[in-house]
Amino acid sequence: QVTLRESGPALVKPTQTLTLTCTFSGFSLSTSGMSVSWIRQPPGKALEWLALLDWGDREYYNPSLRTRLTISRDISMTRVILTMTNLDPVDSGTYYCTHLKNRNFDHWGPGTLVSVSS
Amino acid sequence: KFTLTQPHSVSGSPGKSVSISCTRSSGSVASNYVQWYQQRPGSAPTTVIYEDDRRPSGVPDRFSGSVDTSSNSASLTISGLTTEDEADYYCQSYDSTTYVFGTGTKVTVL
């Protein structure tokens, strides 16, 4: 059974760096075809894809946010980390970690709410 | 990069049908699969249609998807509306390196 859970700070100050961790189980990111992605949703607004890390350690980013994002996995191979630099209040929202299979985000974590405020 | 445009809202009476369009701004909608997600308030999205017209197990056959190349759009149809269908719905597609979500549609059951 695939499960994912996001963790990270609930409150970040403007200009600071946000680090979010996705802890997953039920699949191996080393298996061909497996990928983990981050998606966010500002309050009352639409979903926005942020970044993806695949089984070959290839990284893909939303071109609009490319310069601010880094996605990686830790040595345990059961966590994927997203780093976003230079936070602004417009970056506030719920951040989701997802499993991707055949271009479909088929499993989602419950999401973590991040507020950017001084 | 392309965009996916959806109507802001649609509504229908219980037992009736509604359709939600998802228009791709550039590139052919038929070139890459379209997925549809349902998001109820306070919850993460779940897939109701993947690969244009396939339903995950557990999704009622009242949900159906299609693609129309003449309008370069995909559609989600919900038939036999119930109050459980009240939610936000998002289409999603991709190109070689990026993923894009639609603008989202709120479905209201009158």
Average pLDDT over residues B43-69: 98
Say yes or no: A57 contacts chain B, CB-CB below 8 A: no
Q: Would you state the pLDDT for residue B1? A: 86
Q: Which one of A47, A96, A99 would you mutate to disrupt binding with B, by most B Cβ within 10 Å of its Cβ?
A: A47
Mean pLDDT of chain A: 96
Question: What's the CA gap between B106 and B80, in Å, rounded?
Answer: 17
Segment holding A113, helix H or strand E: strand A112-116
More confident residue, A75 or A57: A57
Q: Would you state the pLDDT for residue A39? A: 98
Structure tokens at A67: 């310069």
Q: Would you state the pLDDT for residue B21? A: 98
Question: Closest Cα of chain A to B48: distance in Å?
Answer: 10
Average pLDDT over residues A58-82: 95
Cβ–Cβ gap A105/B103 under 8 Å: no
pLDDT score of B109 more than 90? yes
Q: Would you state the pLDDT for residue B97? A: 84
Q: Would you state the pLDDT for residue A76? A: 81
Q: Would you state the pLDDT for residue B35? A: 98
Residues A6-25: tens digit of each pLDDT:
999 999 999 999 999 999 99
Structure tokens at B86: 């009240």
Contact in structure between B37 and B46 (CB atoms under 8 Å): yes
pLDDT score of A4 more than 90? yes
Average pLDDT over residues A70-83: 93
At residue B84, the 3 state secondary structure works out as helix
Q: Which of B1, B90, B97 sits opposite A60 (nearest CB)?
A: B97
Average pLDDT over residues B69-82: 98
pLDDT score of B47 more than 90? yes
